[in-house]
Amino acid sequence: MTPRSHSSQRSKHYALLGGLLLLALGVRLWRLTYHSLWFDETMSVFWANQPAARIWEVGMHLVEDRHPPLYYLMLRGWTILFGSSDAVVRSLGAMLGALAVLPAFGIGRLLGDRRAGALAALLVALNPFLVWYSQEARMFVPAATLGLFALYGLLRGWQSCSVRFESLPSNWDADDRRGACLARVWGVIWWGIVLVGLVMCVYSYLFGVFLLVVAGLWLVALLLLTLRVQERGRHWSAFLVGAIVLTLAGGLMLPLLWAGWQVSGTEFTEGRMFDGMGGVLLRQLTAYTLHQGPWSDGVVRAAQVGAGLLALAGLALPLRSRPGSGELRSAGRPLLALYLVGPLLLGGLLLARNRVLFDKPHYFTFLAPALCLLWGRGLAALLDRARLLGLLALVGLLAAMVTGLSHLWLPQNLREDWRTAAAYVEAHAGPNDAVLTHVDYVHFSFEYYFRGSQPVFFPFTDRVTDIAQVEPPLLGLLPFDSVWLVQSHTEQFDPDHLVERWLADRFPLATEQYPAGMTVKRFITRYRLPEPPADASKINAAFGPDITLVACAVDDTRTLATDERTHPPSGWVHVRLYWRAEARPPADYAATVRMVDHLGQVWGDRLHCDRGTLRLWPTSRWETEEVIRQEVDVNLNPITPLGEYRIVVGLVDDAGQPLGAEVICGQVQVVN
């Protein structure tokens, strides 16, 4: 190859790598803040805000937090430099996730050919599972990227040992010797990347130790697969250098691994080796191919079969020889098999120590690139042999991944929408309201977004099993006008909902909203008042001789017809009503609250609530001259046209007969 053609090939190589990197980065930055930070991510922010010494201490003991310190330290430095917005917090993982295409391309090329490497990198760039966790402010994808760089460094380090100075020909000129020296310098750099990459991987995520095992298996396999009599010294030299590097890496990891082993013995339940591994493999194959979405069972089964067969093709089919094929290519299939199977076998053994080891596919995020490498090699082999079949397989896999990507940013895939919960409370809470977060540790997630002046309480730090545990802390909230109960993660700590039950038995429920992963409910602790508040509009509309609607307020004068976040699928309007008994009413009445257009057509009606004010404190019990506060949500028809609407209020008896004419309480504009 002439110098000019070599330069042209190198330019194309870098252009391809640059394009793949930009594609991966663009996909990972797309709609980066669509999802609210969920609890685990806010914990990342919490630890990143701690002093570095504190992060190191906690991360090395794995007691207060179950993850090593390095990712939190990196995030701390990142946020110090660029701020702590959602976009900044997540961009660190997005950038590190995008970088994974570089070692994926390199490993695929060395263990196959340029086409296999490019296809593997393309699949890593578009893999919906890897994109999802790249957009999460957690350590799983950053650790996987660091591990990939280490494995790529091992292959390049092995190659670098091909130059042995003691055997250089005597007739080599200065340029030859200079090139040989440079190759040995690069060898030191590559082995350094192995050491640093593996140590950083494990110090970011403890399960990164599985990649240390993969690196050890690769080293042994390379020795066995490439050992020849005439090259015995060369390959033993590479093996010994690699063994020293991996031993040093293991030694640097040892304090952290020992702490993790001790914690696993006290925190997790023992299981049985290889228990349920068939189900584990299917779940992981589905997750690493499709991730999540409204998939039918048929689509899932087809994806499992297709992805499995393509991976088997990568393991079974050799690639056609091409000029310049590297010496590692013959080791490609066994090395990739060890990358995929080694961690699964070791994990199956460790199930005896921890039965939830495979509980979530993202615990083994580093296996997703292994599948992409196998798929890339399988596609390259099919394109060599049956081009049409290979193209169909490539199009099918890319179609599945792109469709999976489109599902990542849908409302049904929202996980814990703390941003929406905090915004709703902030917009609707009164100045004398209080917020109660339950269970206690989710208060940081709520307060990360909450900018209101209302105090936030989180008194329940232990499992709630008796109503007697609930009452003392909640009695302290009685001086507030309302209590906003924000609940999440209660399954383990309050399975019988005793905190909510105590409030619901005593106070009217004003509103209930359902952001993803939580509930938000407002209980009116002061619903019997001497007079209406100053911010309510005076009406003084009489309904019969006994009851007067003295004031009302429409809190949402602009709204959407649909709502995907708090109470899907319909939009809603919150209305406050203030009633007064002129004399003790002889019967129990119910309020009607509707949204109507200028023709009187109804486009929204109140949501009926069994724990509302007029159910908990019926009109027959009202005292003369006291003002009763009632709050309702008006639920809109999702197809409500844009425009102006009126909120009309009435009162009916138990037979549904109106007591007087309805009155207009306010105006609402339905907007886009």
How high is the pLDDT of residue 412? 87
Distance CA 262, CA 273 (A): 19
pLDDT tens-digit readout, 588-623: 999 999 999 999 999 999 988 889 999 999 999 999
Within 8 A by CB and 6+ apart from 581, the residues are 546, 547, 619, 622, 623, 624, 625, 626, 628
Angle at 247 between CA 245 and CA 252, to 5 degrees: 95
How high is the pLDDT of residue 580? 96
Distance CA 249, CA 417 (A): 40
**Structural domain includes residue 633:** yes
Whether residue 554 has pLDDT greater than 90 = yes
* Last-in-domain residue among 413, 433, 454: 413
Within 8 A by CB and 6+ apart from 441, the residues are 458, 489
In a shared domain, residues 445 and 517: yes
User: What is the residue range of 604's domain?
Assistant: 529-671
In a shared domain, residues 425 and 407: no
Crossing angle of helices 101-110/140-160, nearest 10°? 40
**Structural domain includes residue 334:** yes
In a shared domain, residues 273 and 209: yes
In a shared domain, residues 442 and 386: no
Beta strands in 92-218 (DSSP E): none
* Last-in-domain residue among 384, 413, 442: 413
Distance CA 658, CA 550 (A): 18
**Structural domain includes residue 460:** yes
In a shared domain, residues 403 and 428: no
In a shared domain, residues 72 and 122: yes
Distance CA 328, CA 226 (A): 8
In a shared domain, residues 71 and 186: yes
**Structural domain includes residue 1:** no
* Last-in-domain residue among 388, 413, 438: 413
End-to-end alpha-carbon separation of the chain, Å? 62
In a shared domain, residues 161 and 181: yes
Whether residue 163 has pLDDT greater than 70 = no
Count of Cβ atoms closer than 10 Å to residue 468 Cβ: 8
Phi and psi for 113 in degrees, rounded to 5? -155, 180
Q: What is the mean pLDDT of residues 398-408?
A: 93
**Structural domain includes residue 2:** no
- With residues binned 3-state (H G I as helix, E B as strand, rest as coil), the percentages for the chain, rounded to 5, are 55, 15, 30
How high is the pLDDT of residue 497? 95
Q: Hunting for tokens 């994926």 — which residue is that?
A: 104
**Structural domain includes residue 635:** yes
User: Which CATH number does the domain housing residue 555 bear?
Assistant: 2.60.40.770
Distance CA 332, CA 374 (A): 9
Distance CA 384, CA 403 (A): 27
Domains: count for the chain: 3
DSSP for 394-433 reads HHHHHHHHHHHHHHTTSGGG----HHHHHHHHHHH--TT-
Q: What is the mean pLDDT of residues 120-133?
A: 98
> How far are the Cα atoms of 104, 106, 377 from residue 119, in angstroms, in the given order?
9, 11, 8
Whether residue 229 has pLDDT greater than 60 = no
Consecutive H or E run containing 523: strand 519-524
How high is the pLDDT of residue 266? 73
Would you call 30 exposed, middle or buried from its count of C-beta atoms within 10 A (0-12, 13-18, 19+)?
middle
In a shared domain, residues 261 and 359: yes
**Structural domain includes residue 6:** no
In a shared domain, residues 464 and 346: no
Crossing angle of helices 86-99/70-82, nearest 10°? 120
pLDDT tens-digit readout, 300-326: 999 999 999 999 999 999 998 765 456
Would you call 532 exposed, middle or buried from its count of C-beta atoms within 10 A (0-12, 13-18, 19+)?
buried
In a shared domain, residues 457 and 598: no
**Structural domain includes residue 459:** yes
Which of these ranges, 291-295, 455-459, 496-500, 578-582, has the smallest mean pLDDT? 291-295
pLDDT tens-digit readout, 508-541: 999 999 999 999 999 999 999 999 999 999 999 9
Distance CA 405, CA 128 (A): 5
590: helix, strand or coil = strand
Token pair in block for residue 443 = 């208060």
Three-class secondary structure assignment of 539-563: EEEEECCCEEEEEEEECCCEEECEC
pLDDT tens-digit readout, 26-43: 999 999 999 999 999 999
The pLDDT mean for the chain works out to 92
In a shared domain, residues 439 and 573: no
Percent of the chain residues past pLDDT 90, beyond the cut: 81
Percent of the chain residues past pLDDT 70, beyond the cut: 94
